């Protein structure tokens, strides 16, 4: 079985109840929940929340495959890790160790069902143990060391042209795939041989702050003109 798991909590500080705040006419969490529900590769969509208001909103979507899991409030605090609620759900749900676990981030509303299915195809046809979605960055990155800076992804003395520069892959947080067995063993969303699935650059945007909301809402209209 392939399970899409979307953790959403009610305690967001920067944007209160942001996961059900409307963006382009739908609650934020609707977009990833809908994408996961429509993905051919997904058998079950689990929204894990500690909020009764979020739960009622999610249930009103009437999406095929979708269920709500009432997460323990201790795993929905400001300091709780995403892994804590993943492990809580796995340990309580009786999943098979052979099941595949797709961790999906509600704050990445531009993730589509096609992205999920294509990522799964790459995962299925590879020898990797886990995979994350990523975007390719072509900025030149530097790191500070003892009051100086050093390049970490290019040679400044032989500056490449942008079209010849491979760049680096950056996690966009939208989707991760791993087996239940690996997650229980390593207590982490990624483990073993790790691979990346490259998504379009616009999926790099995540909604964390109010300014992100404006950017993503406009981008969604550009990517999906019918909105």
Active centre residues (catalytic): 159
The whole-angstrom separation of Cα 197 and Cα 78 is: 29
Buried/exposed code over 146-172 (b: 16+ C-beta within 10 A; e: otherwise): eeeeeeeebeeeeeeeeeeeebbeeeb
Q: For the purposes of burial, counting CB atoms within 10 Å of the CB of 5, is it exposed (0-12), middle (13-18) or buried (19 or more)?
A: buried
Q: Note whether 178 and 189 are within 8 A (CB).
A: yes
Return the CA Rg of the chain.
19
């Amino acid at each position: 079985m392939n399970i899409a798991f979307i953790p959403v909590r009610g305690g967001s500080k920067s944007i209160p109840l942001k996961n059900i705040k409307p963006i382009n006419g739908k609650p934020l969490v609707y977009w990833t929940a809908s994408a996961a529900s429509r993905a051919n590769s997904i058998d079950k969509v689990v929204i894990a929340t500690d909020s009764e208001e979020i739960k009622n909103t999610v249930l009103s979507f009437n999406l095929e495959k979708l269920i709500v899991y009432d997460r323990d409030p201790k795993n929905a605090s400001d300091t709780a890790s995403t892994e804590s609620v993943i492990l809580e759900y796995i340990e309580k749900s009786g999943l098979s160790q052979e099941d595949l676990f797709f961790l999906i981030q509600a704050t990445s509303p531009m993730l589509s069902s096609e992205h999920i299915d294509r990522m799964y195809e790459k995962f299925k046809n590879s020898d990797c143990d886990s995979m994350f979605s990523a975007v390719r960055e072509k900025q030149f990155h530097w790191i500070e060391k003892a009051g100086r800076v050093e390049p970490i992804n290019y040679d400044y003395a032989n500056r490449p042209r942008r079209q010849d520069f491979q760049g680096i892959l950056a996690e966009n947080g939208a989707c991760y795939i791993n087996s239940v067995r690996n997650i229980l063993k390593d207590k982490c969303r990624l483990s073993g041989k790790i691979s990346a699935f490259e998504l379009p650059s616009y999926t790099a945007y995540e909604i964390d702050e109010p300014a992100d909301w404006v950017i993503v809402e406009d981008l969604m209209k550009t990517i999906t003109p019918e909105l």
